[in-house]
């Protein structure tokens, strides 16, 4: 029996349903028991994505033209990027950072679903220039905000709230030193 194309409206609904189902499946996989469970009942010391990420020292140039060296997890695979800080305890977030590295510049948004601590996020273009930074809040009372710049980025750095200000990393004046990346 031939497969007939679905009307456009139904096709979009099916595509939307499929995307939601894939997202739900990813969250279920990430929520399954993970090694390194922390003392807090609803968070963990790691998740499957974070456990797979390479850790490396990266360098940034701050607004005072000083080098800032930071040990960061590098998320450059789909599972790693999808996991991020989901289900991770605030104490772990306070002492770590994640650099999301994309193969090419693109548009995108970040969510805070299942993230337990507020974060700073900095967006860098393909040349490493920090062009926008913002603060992200864990979801409360059903308020689900998506965070992202209005232009394409190739790198995004997530760290504990206050990290960017503390290290004087500001949009238009700071840079990710690409030669420091593994």
61 backbone dihedrals φ, ψ, rounded to 5°: -110, 120
Q: Is residue 80 part of a domain?
A: yes
Report yes or no on 110 lying in a domain: yes
Q: Average pLDDT, whole number, for the chain?
A: 84
Q: Supply the range of the domain harboring residue 157.
A: 33-180
4 in a domain, yes or no? no
pLDDT, residue 141, reads 80
Confirm whether pTM is higher than 0.85. no
- Torsion angle, CA of 98/28/88/163, rounded to 10 degrees? 40
Cβ burial of 98 (10 Å; 0-12, 13-18, 19+) is buried
User: pLDDT tens-digit profile of 88-114?
Assistant: 999 999 999 999 999 999 999 999 999
Decide if pLDDT at 140 tops 90: no
Please report which confidence band the pLDDT of residue 34 belongs to, taking 50, 70 and 90 as the band edges.
Answer: very low
- The answer on pLDDT for 14 being more than 50 is no
Q: Is a pLDDT exceeding 70 seen at residue 49?
A: yes
Number of domains observed in the structure of the chain = 1
Confidence of residue 142 (pLDDT cuts 50, 70, 90): confident
Which CATH number fits the domain that encloses residue 165? 2.60.120.1140
Residue 102 within any structural domain of the chain: yes
Q: Note whether residue 86 is domain-resident.
A: yes
pLDDT at 17: 36
- For residues 62-71, average pLDDT: 98
Distance CA 101, CA 130 (A): 14
Q: How confident is the model at residue 129 (pLDDT cuts 50, 70, 90)?
A: very high
Q: Which residue has the higher pLDDT, 73 or 26?
A: 73
Q: Say if 109 falls within a structural domain.
A: yes
The neighbouring-strand residues paired with 68 are 60
pLDDT at 39: 52
**pLDDT of 58 higher than 60:** yes
Q: Which two tokens stand for residue 45?
A: 């010391």
Query: pLDDT tens digits, residue range 162-172?
Result: 999 999 999 99
Distances (CA, A) of 114 to 7, 30, 31, 82: 36, 10, 9, 12
């Amino acid at each position: 029996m031939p497969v007939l194309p679905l009307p456009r409206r139904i096709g979009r609904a099916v595509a939307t349903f499929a995307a939601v189902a894939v997202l739900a499946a990813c969250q279920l996989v990430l929520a399954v028991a993970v090694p390194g469970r922390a003392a807090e009942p609803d968070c963990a010391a790691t998740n499957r994505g974070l456990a797979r990420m390479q850790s490396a020292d990266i360098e940034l140039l701050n607004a005072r033209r000083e080098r800032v060296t930071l040990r960061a997890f590098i998320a450059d695979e789909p599972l790693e990027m999808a996991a991020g800080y989901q289900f991770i305890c605030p104490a772990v977030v306070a002492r770590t950072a994640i650099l999301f590295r994309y193969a090419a510049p693109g548009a995108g948004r970040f969510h805070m679903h299942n993230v337990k601590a507020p974060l700073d996020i900095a967006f860098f273009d393909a040349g490493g220039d920090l062009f926008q930074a913002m603060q992200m809040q864990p979801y409360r009372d059903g308020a689900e905000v998506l965070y992202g710049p209005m232009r394409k980025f190739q790198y995004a750095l997530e760290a504990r709230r206050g990290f960017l200000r503390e290290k004087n990393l500001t949009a238009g004046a700071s840079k990710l030193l690409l030669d420091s990346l593994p």
